[in-house]
Amino acid sequence: MVVDGDLTTQFLYEALSRGKREWELTFDAVPDLIFITDTEHTITRANRAMADRLGLRPSEIPGRKCYELFHEIGTVPGSCPFLKLLQDGEAPHVEMEEKHLGGFFEISVSPLYNELGAITACVHVARDVTERKKAEEYRLALEQQLQQTQRLESLGVLSGGIAHDFNNILTIILGHCAMARMARPDEVQRHLEQIELAGNRAADLCRQMLNYAGKSPLVQTEIDLGAQVRDVVGMLQPAFKKKVSFDYRMEPGVPLIKGDQGQVQQIIMNLVVNAVEAIGDRKGTVGICLARHTILPEEGSHDVFGNAIAPGSYVCLEVSDDGCGMSDETRQRIFEPFFSTKFTGRGLGMSATMGIIRSHNGALQLSSTLGEGSRFRVFFPTSAASLLVRDAEPVPEPQPQSRELLSGTVLLVDDEPELRQVGTVLLAGLGLRVITACNGREALEIYRERGKEIDLVLMDLTMPEMDGVEAYQELRRETSTLPILFCSGYGKKEVSPFIDSDPLAAFLAKPYNREQMRHMLRKLRDMPGNPV
């Protein structure tokens, strides 16, 4: 005969057993890796997912140190979340790669307390986030590919304007050359000055193209946004139809902004090109406005995605058009990667533009009505350091050319005979003796034979047989005290990894003039550690 007390005890026992079985089934059914450790990092229990990932049976895990099994190292790592929990009293979430387990894991910890409130154990949950990481890396790769595609498409749009400007410059140069041949001796100087001015214009165009092609290093500088707008639109305008007019409203004295000049130019170019193409073949106007703008906390301004724009001081660039405008669907999709309202293979996708704006901590607002045009407003933050206004800076007085003569012997290395000839004349005019070489290999042979005579190397970057970087590395194996000046029509990006840490190496962009060459040579000569 069973009494009520026995029935109650049996019922409680069965309930506890059933609860224990359900807990164990749940513990083993969770796909995340779960293990419990004591305060000495010894595992007391692990679920089946943890055992399977380690290639062990669940019974083989208790008693082992978590850092030996999970991290495969012999001591507690400094990034251990349980260690941080014990030290700081906070339960952090960390993400780390465990190569021996084949992926990235997001690890969270939860403390277990005794009746006195002291931590006695910790539950670790390690979630495999490898696929998410791969998806993020793929997305970043797509964004980088999109930005490069964007830049190349933009170069295609620019080609007409560039060809127009270069042909004008060449016409000026050739015209003044022809006039100089027929001019009186006292008139030749005036023609030479005009040729030099035209050459400098061509050099400016080349520098801008290097920025667009990504051959210039991405550096944060103080940028005069008004000057960039004028430069970019001036370069684009010859490629546009004559029916499109531009309405400029440029507030004077706008603060400088901090950013990468090439990427800021990309924003301006994309907005202006899209505005012109929205107008199409009919007459229309593109409005370009630049002004200071202050966002107050009580305004509650939002960007195109509904995100709040932080209160503060901004420079606002506005590009508007009276073209076709956008439908609600287009406005919602315009920032999607690869989305375009143009035919296949075209489209200055606004996704890349939005990415650049975000990287500059900026914001974008958009308003558009189908058939009535569009207006884009880009907000670039300013800072206390950028309140210097380039428009308000005094124009420096032209400095007279220096007559200082330098001394020593220069090894001039360039594969272009004409450039070697021009360089020899220029350097000799500065008071220097010149030895020439046509490539890096010949330069090395000359230095090994006549190194005691040579005080400095002036070297091109792109040359046959052995280029400038290879020659530099070989020369540095021979000597660490020889000043080396790179000269190239490409940007500094190719040599920055080498010369940025070398006080006796420098870069001078082609084309250069006499004073620029004198300044760089003098700078290298006066560098600490230069034995010359």
Report the alpha-carbon distance of residue 91 to residue 218 in Å, rounded. Answer: 38
Q: Give the residue with greater pLDDT, 96 vs 482.
A: 482
Which amino acid makes up residue 226? G
Strands, sheet with 484-488, edge to edge from the N-terminal-most edge strand? 433-437, 409-413, 456-460, 484-488, 505-509
Question: Please, are residues 311 and 299 in contact by the beta-carbon 8 Å criterion?
Answer: yes
Strands, sheet with 373-381, edge to edge from the N-terminal-most edge strand? 244-250, 284-295, 312-321, 373-381, 363-369
CATH, domain range 409-525: 3.40.50.2300
- As a whole number, the mean pLDDT across the chain is 79
Q: What is the pLDDT of residues 490-521, one digit of tens each?
A: 767 677 777 788 889 988 887 777 888 888 88
Report the alpha-carbon distance of residue 280 to residue 320 in Å, rounded. Answer: 14
Q: Quick one: pLDDT at residue 219?
A: 62
- Least confident interval from 41-45, 95-99, 444-448: 95-99
Question: Please, are residues 225 and 276 in contact by the beta-carbon 8 Å criterion?
Answer: no
- Residue % of the chain over a pLDDT of 90: 15
Report the alpha-carbon distance of residue 431 to residue 406 in Å, rounded. Answer: 5
Whole-model pTM? Answer: 0.44
Indicate whether 363 pLDDT > 60. Answer: yes
Report the alpha-carbon distance of residue 244 to residue 277 in Å, rounded. Answer: 10
Which amino acid makes up residue 17? S
Q: Give the residue with greater pLDDT, 213 vs 146.
A: 146
Q: What is the pLDDT of residues 306-333, one digit of tens each?
A: 888 888 999 999 999 998 888 887 777 7
Report the alpha-carbon distance of residue 14 to residue 6 in Å, rounded. Answer: 12
Q: What is the pLDDT of residues 225-248, one digit of tens each?
A: 998 898 888 877 777 777 788 899
Q: Give the residue with greater pLDDT, 407 vs 410.
A: 410
Question: Please, are residues 95 and 47 in contact by the beta-carbon 8 Å criterion?
Answer: no
Q: Give the residue with greater pLDDT, 226 vs 117.
A: 226
The beta strand positions in 100-163, using DSSP E, are: 103-113, 119-128
% helix, strand, coil for the chain, step of 5: 45, 20, 30
The β-bridge relationship of strands 433-437 and 409-413 is: parallel
Indicate whether 480 pLDDT > 50. Answer: yes
Report the alpha-carbon distance of residue 339 to residue 336 in Å, rounded. Answer: 6
Place of tokens 């230069």: 530
Considering only CA atoms, give the Rg of the chain. 34
Indicate whether 394 pLDDT > 50. Answer: no
Q: Give the residue with greater pLDDT, 521 vs 299.
A: 521
Helix or strand (DSSP H, E) at 358: helix 350-359
Task: Categorise residue 27: left if φ over 0, alpha if ψ from -120 to 50, beta otherwise.
Answer: alpha
3-state secondary structure of 275: helix
Cβ neighbours of residue 210 under 8 Å, at least 6 residues apart? 216, 490, 491
Dihedral, CA of residue 447, residue 449, residue 455 and residue 457, to nearest 10? -20
Angle between helix axes 130-182 and 185-212 (nearest 10 degrees) is 170
Q: Quick one: pLDDT at residue 347?
A: 37
The β-bridge relationship of strands 456-460 and 284-295 is: unpaired
Q: What is the pLDDT of residues 240-269, one digit of tens each?
A: 777 788 899 999 888 999 888 878 888 898
Residue ranges of the domains in the chain?
A: 31-128, 138-389, 409-525
3-state secondary structure of 458: strand
Question: Please, are residues 300 and 343 in contact by the beta-carbon 8 Å criterion?
Answer: no
Tell me which CATH homologous superfamily contains domain 31-128: PAS domain (3.30.450.20)
In the predicted model, what is the mean pLDDT of residues 200-211?
Answer: 70
Distances (CA, A) of 260 to 6, 236, 388: 81, 20, 18
3-state secondary structure of 393: coil
Q: Quick one: pLDDT at residue 475?
A: 93
In the predicted model, what is the mean pLDDT of residues 149-163?
Answer: 61
In the predicted model, what is the mean pLDDT of residues 108-130?
Answer: 84
Q: What is the pLDDT of residues 25-55, one digit of tens each?
A: 677 777 888 888 888 888 888 888 888 888 8
Chain centroid to CA 443: how far? Answer: 35
Length of the chain: 532
Q: Which long-range contacts (CB under 8 A, 24 or more apart) does 67-73 make?
A: 67/41, 69/43, 70/33, 70/35, 70/98, 70/101, 70/124, 70/126, 71/98, 72/98, 72/100
Token readout for 353 is 């533009």
Q: Give the residue with greater pLDDT, 348 vs 305.
A: 305
Indicate whether 400 pLDDT > 70. Answer: no
Q: Quick one: pLDDT at residue 68?
A: 81
Tell me which CATH homologous superfamily contains domain 138-389: Histidine kinase-like ATPase, C-terminal domain (3.30.565.10)
